[in-house]
Amino acid sequence: MRTLTIQTSPSYNIFIQKGLLSKAGEHIRDITTAKTAVIVTDDAVAPLYAKTVQKSLQNAGFFVETFVFPHGEESKCHKVLIALYDFLLQKGVTRSDLLVALGGGVVGDLTGFAAASYMRGIDFVMIPTTLLSQVDSSVGGKTAVNLQEGKNIVGAFWQPRLVLCDPDTLLSLSEDILKDGVAECVKYGFIRDEKILDLLLDGVMKNIEEIITRCIAIKKQVVERDEHDHGERMILNFGHTLAHAIERYYHYQTYTHGKAVAIGMVYITRAAVKQGATPKETFDKMLAVLAALGLPTSCDAPLEELLPLCARDKKRETSGINIILAKQVGQCEIVKKPLNEFYAFFQ
């Protein structure tokens, strides 16, 4: 089993191993004295894995409740959040109990924010079941729900007590959803570790544990130095400002998060090449890698309509927008631009 320890407040371990799902209870029991564990999952993941995790938790001495909500980005909202609060109250869940987020990024974000805010904070554990959530959203303590005006606008930094990554859960993903996570892995390759790109091109599932470990190791280093996203951690948003605009433009229907990130990386890098901030070789490699992995590099949304949506992104500050540029493969830079210069950057 591969183990990484995230030195935040509090610190916690990330375990990566095939077959880990059936051992979840014993690992969770090692980090808590809670009597009740509430599995929070969606209606796509529940039929696949909820019984396995429930049985494992019960075998470890937990009383288990399960809250299931409709899958999809539209469920990452206050309506579902309030329903979860009500469920926890009805079941008598206390501050000494814990939540278990079983699913992808939506499940993790929603559960984490519920844990951060219910009774002013209770423990939670992440069991990510998609590649995107395993390499990115389950690590680092960012939790949130969406507003109609944008993604992740209301949230909190709340670190999990434990993260359990079982690569076997990826076998149940459609190729489409798996590619969502592959795009985030490409992001890590371009901002910090070119070897990840080689592993992806050699075969995603063939090298899956090494890919997951390398991506998490990058996030570990960044999060430990900038837990609350005031500086270096912003590099993890490479491609994301435009990605969130693309998702919103299409009402979260046409492009999933990872595919929008792929397009966002291309758009920002193309502009950076035009402005002389990035070598053309970096852009050419990006296009080649994304094409080889079956990821999109453009969309039909007019850029002049996407850019104003970026101004509503949570990464905007009063003085402007922080954008991340890939200077070379494996090397990036954070650049702050006033809003007018941000628009001009894409001209």
pLDDT above 70: residue 317: no
At residue 149 the predicted structure's pLDDT band, cuts being 50, 70 and 90, is confident
Q: What is the mean pLDDT of residues 152-181?
A: 95
- Average pLDDT of the residues of the chain: 94
Q: Which pLDDT does position 230 carry in this prediction?
A: 79
> Mind listing the pLDDT tens digit for each residue in 252-286?
889 989 999 999 999 999 999 999 999 999 999 99
3-state SS, the chain, equals: CEEEEECCCCCEEEEECCCHHHHHHHHHHCCCCCCEEEEEEECCCHHHHHHHHHHHHHHCCCEEEEEEECCCHHHCCHHHHHHHHHHHHHCCCCCCCEEEEEECHHHHHHHHHHHHHHHHCCEEEEEECCHHHHHHHCCCCEEEEEECCEEEEEEEECCCCEEEECHHHHHHCCHHHHHHHHHHHHHHHHHCCHHHHHHHHHCCCCCHHHHHHHHHHHHHHHHHHCCCCCCHHHHHHCCHHHHHHHHHHCCCCCCCHHHHHHHHHHHHHHHHHHCCCCCHHHHHHHHHHHHHCCCCCCCCCCHHHHHHHHCCCCCEECCEEEEEEEEECCEEEEEEECHHHHHHHCC
At residue 229 the predicted structure's pLDDT band, cuts being 50, 70 and 90, is confident
Q: Which pLDDT does position 322 carry in this prediction?
A: 87
> Mind listing the pLDDT tens digit for each residue in 83-110?
999 999 999 999 999 999 999 999 999 9
Q: Which pLDDT does position 180 carry in this prediction?
A: 93
Q: Which pLDDT does position 275 carry in this prediction?
A: 93
Q: Which pLDDT does position 151 carry in this prediction?
A: 84
To the question of pTM greater than 0.85 for the whole model, the response is yes
pLDDT above 90: residue 81: yes
